Structure 1
Amino acid sequence: MRRWFGRLVRLLLVLVGALLLLAVWSVLIEPRWVAQRRFDVSVSGWDGPPGLKVAVASDWHMGQDALRSVMTLDRARAIVADINAAQPDVVLLPGDFIFGRGEDGTTPEQVAEVLGQLRATHGVYAVLGNHDWWTNGPRFTQALRAAGVTVLQNDAVPLPGTSVWVVGIGDRMTGHSDPVQALRRVPAGAETLTFMHDPASARQLPRDSGLTVAAHTHGGQVWIPFHGSIVAPHGWPVKQTHGWVRVNRRTLYITSGLGVSIYPVRLNMRPEWVMFTIKAAVRPDETAGAPGGPTAARS
């Protein structure tokens, strides 16, 4: 009996130790272990610049508290430096730049000062997320534009010196999403770089015409094998909160984002920024999201 009790105690100690290690990992390590993912994307009929490098960095959720918000302004500056070192041609920022609603004292101007340090040959483009609107959407728009970032609110602009258009779709949760309006200026058949905060906005988009990316989900922040994320926003499928997914007639990439929201935890779902290199497909099946299409290098 005594031997059985001793084994039980040892087992309980091992379990407690494992849970403590898991807690340390998911709270202190993984939320700060940023992945730099790279994808080669083949697009059928691509007539934009060959090898166009598009960096995507979303859901920064910048704040003051290094434990609660994780993404301090200084950490964000370091990530900006990493993105700049990769020499992107275009940077897309799909929203949620601030933690909470700025109640910790973080201001849109402080966030914009950090993001304004991003550099790309053809420009830096942003859409606002729900947290940005909850804080102060017009103030965020003004601050980002003053910092040199092009903010698109259901609008599109031609990528300088190319035949490609950048399409920015507004946030769905706060009632600012209008994909039809966003595409109104895009010429028929033009290639696009389409980005949005909420992937649900893609349900109203026509067939693929380039690269499409979304954010908002954080990959649930915790990913359970064979199940998916532990949470997904407003009914979105838990198995489609990260990576390449098909929405109606369009393939899009949903990024896990850089920061955290609600709880400062990540487990099996690293924060990330992504670099897409776009080239013309040489076979009909070599398109974004298809077998033989995008390939990834992870770090």
Structure 2
Amino acid sequence: MKTARRRRWIGWTFLVLALLAVYAVGVEPRWTATRRIEASVPGWSRPPLKVAVASDWHITRRPLGAMTLDRAAAIVAQINAANPDVVLLPGDFIAGDGDPASRGEPDAQEIAAVLGKLRAPLGVYAVLGNHDWWADGPAVAEALKRRGIQVLENDAREIDAGLWVAGIGDHMTGHSNPVRTVAAVPPRAHALVVMHDPASLLDLPAVQGLAVAGHMHAGQVRLPGHGALITPGRAPRSWSYGWVDHRGLQAWVTSGLGTSILPVRFNARPEWVLLVVGAAAG
């Protein structure tokens, strides 16, 4: 009887694990969430601003890859339908390492042709991620620019009176220079700071506004009560997803859209986010 009971338990255990594997590979990576989040900024005196944030696309042709060119086009349509005032793209458009074309993956031109259909009256702005640099950073940046996406690498642009977008280079590949980036923003202006890796927050000087980042993928696998199993780079594991308060600046670290290394997500749904930025209470 004990042997039969043990076999049943083993059978049920394997069944549960198999179902979890099917879900983590076949369901959750394709179950993209659209999140609308209210964000309060001290001293904000302009009307509410709708900021769409879509990071870590990792567009691929791999059989188990979730973010194909067609799915990316569908997400672009969803973002446009939300009528954002500005769109921020925190990097990692390329999947894998090295030249994507040699691996049979979509190259920068194909990806930019899809993302170039994003529309917002105040513009679409991007920074490059580590995978973009591992492919060919200048080529990725040039492809995006040709499609009307402004690429800011440690630079800032005024997009409305007193409102700036500041883009910080990738931390993991040594391109991050937050001090130089923020120096371009006038002292009394508000800034939307976009970075790929939240580790750039560690060196970010004081700035008015809010920040967004990606790179962490919410760990791709998050266990209840523990959080992300593994996170890349220098940023603390507690920064793997959601709001981060660092030196008085609020930063949203998004889970991103695609997957990296393994085509798996568990308790870490892909997302794009619409931040509605307004004045802080009081």
Normalising by the smaller structure, the TM-score range is over 0.9
CA distance in 1, matches of 2:273, 2:154: 23
The Cα of 1:208 is off from its aligned counterpart by: 4.6
Cα pair 2:255 2:270 within 8 Å, conserved: yes
CA distance in 2, matches of 1:139, 1:130: 14
Match for residue 270 of structure 2? 271
2:137 aligned counterpart, secondary structure: helix
Gap runs ≥5 in structure 2: none
Where do residues 116-195 of structure 1 align in structure 2 (5 Å cutoff)?
A: 116-159=116-159, 161-195=160-194
Alignment counterpart, residue 91 of structure 1, candidates 73, 87, 90:
87
Where do residues 1-299 of structure 1 align in structure 2 (5 Å cutoff)?
A: 3-48=1-46, 50-67=47-64, 69-101=65-97, 102=100, 103-159=103-159, 161-283=160-282
CA distance in 2, matches of 1:255, 1:5: 48
The Cα of 1:31 is off from its aligned counterpart by: 0.5
The Cα of 1:175 is off from its aligned counterpart by: 1.1
CA distance in 1, matches of 2:236, 2:205: 21
The Cα of 1:116 is off from its aligned counterpart by: 0.1
Cα pair 1:228 1:240 within 8 Å, conserved: no
- Which contiguous aligned blocks of 4+ residues in structure 1 show a shift greater than 3 angstroms? none
* Paired-residue identity, %: 53
- Between 7-16 and 108-117, report the one with greater CA deviation: 7-16
TM-score when normalising by structure 1: 0.90
Cα pair 1:60 1:259 within 8 Å, conserved: yes
Cα pair 2:182 2:207 within 8 Å, conserved: no
Cα pair 2:179 2:205 within 8 Å, conserved: no
Cα pair 1:43 1:279 within 8 Å, conserved: yes
Cα pair 1:165 1:193 within 8 Å, conserved: yes
TM-score when normalising by structure 2: 0.95
1:183 aligned counterpart, secondary structure: helix
Cα pair 1:54 1:277 within 8 Å, conserved: yes
Gap runs ≥5 in structure 1: 284-299
The Cα of 1:249 is off from its aligned counterpart by: 3.8
Cα pair 1:156 1:183 within 8 Å, conserved: yes
